A and B are shown apart, each in its own frame.
Chain A
Amino acid sequence: QQQVKQSPQSLIVQKGGISIINCAYENTAFDYFPWYQQFPGKGPALLIAIRPDVSEKKEGRFTISFNKSAKQFSLHIMDSQPGDSATYFCAASTPRDSSYKLIFGSGTRLLVRP
């Protein structure tokens, strides 16, 4: 119930291509879905987040698509750049859990080839 399943585990994309990372969840009480970007040796940094009342959110080259009925959400990176090479984590939290702790997916290692 508390799991967030993320795929693929790793992804290689050519510069200029579209990177797509998918996540699925079971707990319908989740109401906050952030994506974090992590570079080696650094802590995760919030990239973009969405709530289930919208189906899409776009910030620059990054877009979250959200499908509430399928309990799935995905991150799309348009015009992928070598500087986007990092590990990406999806996450979810629920207000029913008073700590608002984040439940993370297992991560996707993205490599963008020049």
Chain B
Amino acid sequence: GAGVSQSPSNKVTEKGKDVELRCDPISGHTALYWYRQSLGQGLEFLIYFQGNSAPDKSGLPSDRFSAERTGGSVSTLTIQRTQQEDSAVYLCASSLVGGNRAFFGQGTRLTVV
């Protein structure tokens, strides 16, 4: 596709369940980022991939959060044992090289009930 694609668009899950969020970056983009946007807040960095490796995981809020990227393309963000405070929009972005002109997907709105 032409842009960054994320799925699902919306996810409602029960507290304590695990969820997987998917990001399909723009073809050829080696850098991939996950950000979190809580209601009425700015965007908070979670993790950065360059190719399949994640040299910067400094934004992951707890060990319940993990992410992987395969084939230098698709990335999955996994949240284990979800808590209500995990409710947010999770945004994925990609760029040709790190940083400049990062293109964002539409996000996955996660609601933990």
Contact = CB atoms under 8 A, between A and B. Distances in A.
Contacts, number: 69
Contact of B43 (A44, A93, A100): A44
B100 A100 contact: yes
Interface residues of A toward B: which range?
Answer: 20 to 34
A101 B99 contact: yes
Contacts of A42: 106-107
A66 interface: no
A51 to B, nearest CB: 10
A49 to B, nearest CB: 8
Given A89-B42, A101-B59, A106-B41, A46 B99 contact: no
B65 interface: no
A41 B106 contact: yes
Given A102-B43, A104-B42, A43 B99 contact: no
B45 A43 contact: no
B60 interface: no
Residue of B42, B45, B101 with highest tally of chain A CB at under 10 A: B42
Interface residues of B, number: 29
Interface in A94-110: 95, 97-107
Nearest to B43: A104
A32 interface: yes
A103 B102 CA distance: 13
A43 B106 CA distance: 4
Given A98-B55, A99-B56, A101-B56, A44 B42 contact: no
B91 A93 contact: no
A29 interface: no
Given A89-B42, A98-B98, A106-B41, A43 B4 contact: yes
B43 to A, nearest CB: 4
Nearest to A2: B45
A93 B95 CA distance: 14
Interface string B68-110: 0000000000000000000000010101011111111111000
Interface of B: 4, 31, 33, 35, 40-45, 48, 50, 55-56, 59, 91, 93, 95, 97-107
